[in-house]
């Protein structure tokens, strides 16, 4: 019998886990244990604080529904999702377009629309065109790439919030044409607050943060043999462009709507963005996050 103290218990834990069969699981859990123990020692966590932390995580889990993934939100507000994205971008063999957060409002199965279609059912403000070309990192066009688009309305709400998940709006899927080009119509989405009515919102309030995301359009771009790109375009004149609560903005993703002679649809201001897709490594996944419905156990038939 060994007498364990706050240091030797770390070694004892690592020793018990030493036989983990999967080497990657071993690497991740070893590091998680070392860092968690070091964190507890550094802040000298008290039993009451430990319980409070567990209560918080329990509440985060209980706030999850098929329409809401509070754990993704937690990862986002503490910057972990952004770190995972940055590492993912850095690990690419080739320099493709930059990633951004998938966020909790992505849905599989949005309607596939013809190029040029309006993704907003009833636009009440100026319509904009978003267009550009999808190429590989050498500039060769990528025809047939699937571009999944989703955004908030001009009121700053996703369809999941305005329609309670009963029908889709402000989203659509497009295929690039034979020259890799895409174009669609939308309205400028309004920036919005992340959901603040749950445990993560409480934490953000306690930290005196505003909870806002600047106006943005999400895009998820996939093509065979290329890395899937999860990203978003951010409107540079938004008040919150420099203080996104979830750290999704990067300079290379900032855009503006302009008069644009290169736009394939005349009479609209346009946002132009050309995407570069890097080659995929076999079996590689490019997503940080997922459709929250895929996290929930299916109801018994």
Q: Which residues bind ligand BEZ (CB under 6 A)?
A: 73, 76, 101, 103-105, 194, 213, 246
- Cα distances from 299 to residues 70, 293, 296, in angstroms, run 20, 12, 9
Please choose, out of 75-83, 97-105, 251-259, 262-270, the segment that lies near Fe ion by the rule CB under 5 A.
97-105
Give least dist CB 106 to ligand BEZ, A. 8
| 158 CA to centre of own chain | 14
Using CB positions, name the residue nearest to ligand BEZ: 103
Rounded Cα gap, residues 141 and 277, in angstroms: 10
Give least dist CB 189 to ligand BEZ, A. 10
The single-letter DSSP state of residue 89 is H
The single-letter DSSP state of residue 131 is E
The residue among 216 and 226 lying less far from ligand BEZ, judged by its C-beta, is 216
| 145 CA to centre of own chain | 20
Residue 105 phi, psi (nearest 5)? -110, 10
Please choose, out of 23-31, 99-107, 171-179, 261-269, the segment that lies near Fe ion by the rule CB under 5 A.
99-107
Residue 283 phi, psi (nearest 5)? 75, 10
Choice from 96, 103, 180, 191 touching Fe ion (CB under 5 A): 103
The residue among 102 and 142 lying less far from ligand BEZ, judged by its C-beta, is 102
Give least dist CB 244 to Fe ion, A. 10
The residue among 6 and 197 lying less far from ligand BEZ, judged by its C-beta, is 197
User: In the structure encoding, which two tokens stand for residue 192, read together?
Assistant: 């919005």
Residues found near Fe ion in the complex (CB under 5 A): 103
């Amino acid at each position: 019998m060994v007498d364990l103290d706050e240091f030797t218990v770390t070694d004892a834990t690592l020793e018990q886990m030493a036989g983990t069969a999967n080497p990657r699981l071993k690497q991740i859990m070893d590091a998680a244990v070392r860092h968690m123990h070091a964190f507890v020692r550094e802040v000298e966590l008290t039993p009451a604080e430990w319980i409070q932390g567990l209560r918080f995580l329990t509440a985060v889990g209980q706030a999850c529904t098929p329409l809401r993934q509070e754990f993704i939100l937690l990862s986002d507000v503490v910057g972990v999702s952004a770190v995972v994205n940055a590492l993912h971008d850095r690990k690419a063999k080739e320099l493709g377009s930059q990633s951004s957060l998938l966020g909790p409002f992505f849905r599989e199965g949005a309607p596939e629309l013809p190029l040029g279609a309006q993704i907003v059912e009833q636009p009440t403000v100026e319509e904009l065109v978003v267009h550009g070309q999808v190429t590989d990192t050498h500039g060769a066009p990528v025809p047939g790439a699937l571009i999944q688009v989703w955004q908030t309305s001009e009121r700053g709400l996703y369809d999941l919030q305005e329609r309670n998940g009963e029908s889709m709006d402000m989203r659509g899927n497009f295929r690039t044409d034979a020259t890799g080009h895409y174009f669609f119509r939308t309205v400028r989405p309004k920036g919005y607050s992340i959901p603040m009515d749950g445990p993560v919102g409480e934490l953000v309030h306690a930290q005196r943060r505003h909870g806002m995301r600047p106006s943005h359009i999400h895009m998820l771009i996939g093509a065979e043999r290329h890395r899937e790109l999860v990203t978003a375009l951010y409107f540079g004149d938004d008040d919150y462009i420099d203080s996104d609560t979830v750290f999704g903005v990067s300079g290379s993703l900032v855009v503006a709507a302009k008069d644009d002679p290169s736009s394939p649809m005349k009479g609209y201001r346009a946002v132009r963005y050309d995407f570069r897709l890097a080659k995929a490594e076999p079996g590689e996944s490019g997503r940080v996050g997922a459709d929250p419905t895929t996290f929930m156990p299916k109801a018994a038939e």
